[in-house]
């Protein structure tokens, strides 16, 4: 739980800094340089924004949705994966999702900034689904028939559609990048757990 509360606290703290940006020009420049991912970020020698942008939210509703989703899945996933594995997947998938967003931006000749924990949280949800495909999940308070695997399929289809038709300003490419890396990791970890179980039964 310490890890979860730490992640929630960091995201909330960075959100608080964004609310002060117009009153402090130096703070504004620092936040733009290190907590926003854009094309210019890729040319810097020290590109910390690929990591820090995944803890960055400017809009309260964006923060609220992401932290609510993180809280929903992180408790069970930390207990299954352990603190070290969860942290590794969260950070790596956050970086991958940021890069996926920038690659998509290059390929489509569009310009925009990427920020937020959505990519990393998409990865955690995808890993959860790989491990527990039949788990009951809900959209807000509405249960989704078919469980986690159906929810992930709908989420993926929505983001593919968003990339193709650009029907909102959501960072669909980042969501997809996180989803892919999270699901692949979940499948790999599931296989590892099965292998461990077989070995224990064999030795017994």
In a domain, 26, yes or no: yes
Mean pLDDT of the residues in the chain: 90
Which residues touch 84 (CB under 8 Å, ≥6 apart)? none
Catalytic residue, from 122, 175, 188, 197: name it.
175
Is 122 an annotated catalytic residue?
no
Which residue is associated with the tokens 């499948």? 187
Integer CA distances (angstroms), 12 to 39, 46, 72, 111, 134, in order: 25, 24, 17, 27, 32
Is 62 an annotated catalytic residue?
no
In a domain, 80, yes or no: yes
Catalytic residue, from 101, 118, 168, 188: name it.
118
List the CATH number of the domain containing 147. 1.20.1540.10
Look at the chain and report how many structural domains it folds into. 1
State residue 93's pLDDT score. 96
83 pLDDT band, cuts 50/70/90, is very high
In a domain, 32, yes or no: yes
What backbone phi and psi angles, to 5 degrees, belong to 48?
A: -75, -15
Please give the average per-residue pLDDT across 173-201, as a whole number: 89
Which residue segment(s) compose the domain that 118 sits in?
2-199
Among 23, 111, 4, 14, residue whose Cα is nearest residue 55: 14
Q: Would you say residue 105 has pLDDT above 60?
A: yes
28 pLDDT band, cuts 50/70/90, is very high
State residue 45's pLDDT score. 60
Please give the average per-residue pLDDT across 78-105, as a whole number: 92
* pTM of the model as a whole: 0.90
pLDDT above 90: percentage of residues in the chain:
65
What span, in angstroms and rounded, lies between the C-alpha atoms of 182 and 180? 5
Q: What is the pLDDT of residues 52-69, one digit of tens each?
A: 999 999 999 999 999 999
13 pLDDT band, cuts 50/70/90, is very high
In a domain, 204, yes or no: no
Written as six digits, the tokens of 94 are: 């956050």
Please give the average per-residue pLDDT across 28-55, as a whole number: 84
CA angle 176, 177, 178 (to 5 degrees): 90
What span, in angstroms and rounded, lies between the C-alpha atoms of 123 and 150? 16
């Amino acid at each position: 739980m310490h890890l979860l509360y730490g992640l929630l606290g960091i995201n909330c703290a960075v959100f608080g800094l964004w609310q002060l940006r117009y009153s402090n020009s130096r703070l504004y420049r620092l936040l733009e340089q290190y907590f926003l991912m854009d094309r210019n970020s890729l040319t810097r020698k020290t590109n910390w924004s690929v990591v820090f942008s995944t803890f960055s939210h400017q809009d309260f509703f964006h923060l609220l949705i992401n932290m609510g989703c993180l809280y929903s899945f992180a408790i069970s996933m930390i207990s299954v994966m352990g603190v070290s594995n969860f942290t590794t997947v969260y950070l790596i998938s956050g970086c991958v999702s940021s890069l996926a967003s920038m690659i998509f931006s290059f390929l489509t000749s569009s310009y925009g900034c990427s920020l937020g924990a959505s990519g990393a949280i998409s990865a955690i949800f995808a890993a959860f689904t790989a491990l527990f495909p039949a788990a009951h999940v809900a959209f807000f308070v509405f249960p989704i028939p078919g469980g986690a695997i159906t929810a992930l399929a709908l989420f993926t289809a929505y983001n593919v559609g968003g990339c193709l038709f650009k029907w909102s300003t959501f960072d669909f490419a980042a969501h997809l990048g996180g989803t892919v890396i999270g699901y692949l990791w979940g499948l790999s970890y599931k296989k590892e757990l099965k292998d461990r179980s077989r070995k224990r039964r064999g030795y017994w």
